[in-house]
Amino acid sequence: MRKILFAILSLSFGNIYAQIDTSKKIETVPTVISDTPGFVADTSSMLDGLMDIDLGPDFETNVFKGTRVINSQSTEMIGKQNLDFRICHRFGEVNQGGYQLWGLDQAFQRMSFTYGISDLLNVEIGRSNVGKIYDGSIKWKIMRQAKGDKKRPVSIALYSNIALQTEKNTNAQIDPYYYTHRLYYAHQLLVSKKVNKNFSFQIMPTLVHRNLIDSQKFKNDVFSIGFGGRNKITRKTALTYEYFYVFPNQIKSTYHNSLSIGFDIETGGHVFQLHFTNSRFMNEKGFVAENTGDWLKGGVHFGFNISRVFYIGRG
């Protein structure tokens, strides 16, 4: 169909050019008679028709610069047949003083690979040295925010994670210690909106399930709600932040809500995130349900995330 249309337009414009007297001012575009018997083509209506082609919704891009706000997932996705390699690193708490170089002598890290099955479906595997945790996750983007489209005012993604803690059991009171005691689950609904080119925010209702808890007076299921944001500073830098509020009477009183503040730097193929956070954990079970850091007492970790995306498809 495209070839036919191109041939018609080429023939029509050729006839127009042949009929133009360059010494005279052209007031209107003439109707062109095709070589095809009985066919009359109006080139102005053809061009109007081309201008009326529906190019589809104009989706928002770069709501966040990476697949994570800081600790938590964002609604951003890895493209089809792309592989994202990510290193998340946290140093020790800054309140340890000069002997521990304000936490820099300690290190907690997580490495992960995220693969784009499609532009809207990602899978991830990762490993953290905190608790020696292996985890796998899936994220499905069910709505993309589109500019000026009231039917697509936000981006929405569903995220699920399963984690296996392989660290040896050192608590003699937990006997027997079953394999299922090592399993944890997390589920999130991620809803984000790019308000303008400089500001985006995200809301994250979250459920964490722990198969093993310290006492029956606490909950296996922990409900919380997270809030995240991004304020663009320059074309390649931005201020980011996130906070998780855990609803009362679910976890130990010694655990604290996770609060993180960061600074994103885009450097070509890398996104470099520097931040301060009161969580040394880099999975939902840790930074939502079992976070021990207290900002008011200096229980804050300096850290960074760095990622690199590789295309591994054919062609």
Distance separating the N- and C-terminal Cα atoms of the chain:
27
| 1's tokens | 């169909």
Nearest to 163 by CA among 117, 131, 123: 131
Select from 290, 297, 230 the least CA-distant residue to 258. 290
Q: Does residue 33 form part of some domain? A: yes
* Residue 126 belongs to a domain: yes
Tell whether 44 and 88 lie within a shared domain. Answer: no
Same domain, 159 and 286: yes
Do 296 and 154 lie in one domain? The reply is yes
Q: Are residues 90 and 17 in the same domain?
A: no
Q: Is residue 60 part of a domain?
A: no
Most confident segment among 28-32, 144-148, 166-170, 258-262: 258-262
Q: What is the identity of the amino acid at 82? A: N
Which domain does 156 fall in, by range?
82-311
> Does residue 110 share a domain with residue 159?
yes
Would residue 302 count as lying in a domain?
A: yes
Q: How many domains does the chain have?
A: 2
What pLDDT sits at residue 48? Answer: 59
The type of residue at 1 is M
The residue-averaged pLDDT of 16-44 equals 45
Instruction: Please enumerate in sequence order all residues whose Cβ is within 8 A of that of 84, keeping only pairs 6 or more positions apart, or say none.
Output: 67, 78, 112, 113, 114, 115, 307, 308, 309, 310
Q: How many other CB atoms are found less than 10 A from the CB of residue 63?
A: 21
Residues 25 and 159 in one domain: no
Q: Is residue 72 one of the residues assigned to a domain?
A: no
Q: 192: which 2 tokens?
A: 């984000």
Residue 307 tokens, joined: 């990622």
Q: How far apart are CA 263 and CA 42, in angstroms?
A: 57
pLDDT digits (tens, 9 = 90+) for 160-176: 999 999 998 887 777 78
User: How confident is the model over 35-94, as pLDDT tens digits?
Assistant: 444 444 455 555 555 555 666 788 988 899 889 999 999 999 999 999 999 999 999 999
Reported as a pLDDT band with limits 50, 70 and 90, residue 96 is confident
Same domain, 47 and 92: no
Would you place residue 24 in the very low, low, confident or very high pLDDT band (cuts 50, 70, 90)? very low
The more confident residue out of 171 and 105 is 105
Q: Is residue 176 part of a domain?
A: yes
Q: Per residue in 145-154, is it b (16+ CB within 10 Å) or e — as a string?
A: bbeeeeebeb
Q: Both 42 and 108 in a single domain? A: no
Q: Do residues 179 and 134 both lie within one domain?
A: yes
Same domain, 86 and 220: yes
CA distance 135 to 185: 9
Q: Find how far residue 140's CA is from the centre of its chain.
A: 11
Residue 77 lies in a domain: no
Q: Using 50, 70 and 90 to split pLDDT, how confident is the model at 126? A: very high
Judgement on whether residues 224 and 150 belong to the same structural domain of the protein: yes
Q: 114 and 84 in contact (C-beta within 8 Å)?
A: yes
Per the domain annotation, does 68 fall within a domain? no
Locate the DSSP E strands across 166-255: 183-196, 199-210, 221-234, 237-246
**Confidence band for 214, pLDDT divided at 50, 70 and 90:** confident
Residue 177 pLDDT class (50, 70, 90 cuts):
confident
* Tokens representing residue 233 in the block: 């500073």
CATH of the domain at 170: 2.40.160.40
| Per-residue model confidence as pLDDT tens digits over 260-282 | 999 999 887 778 899 999 999 99
Q: Report the alpha-carbon distance of residue 183 to residue 301 in Å, rounded.
A: 26
Most confident of 22-31, 76-85, 145-154: 76-85
212 lies in the same domain as 89: yes
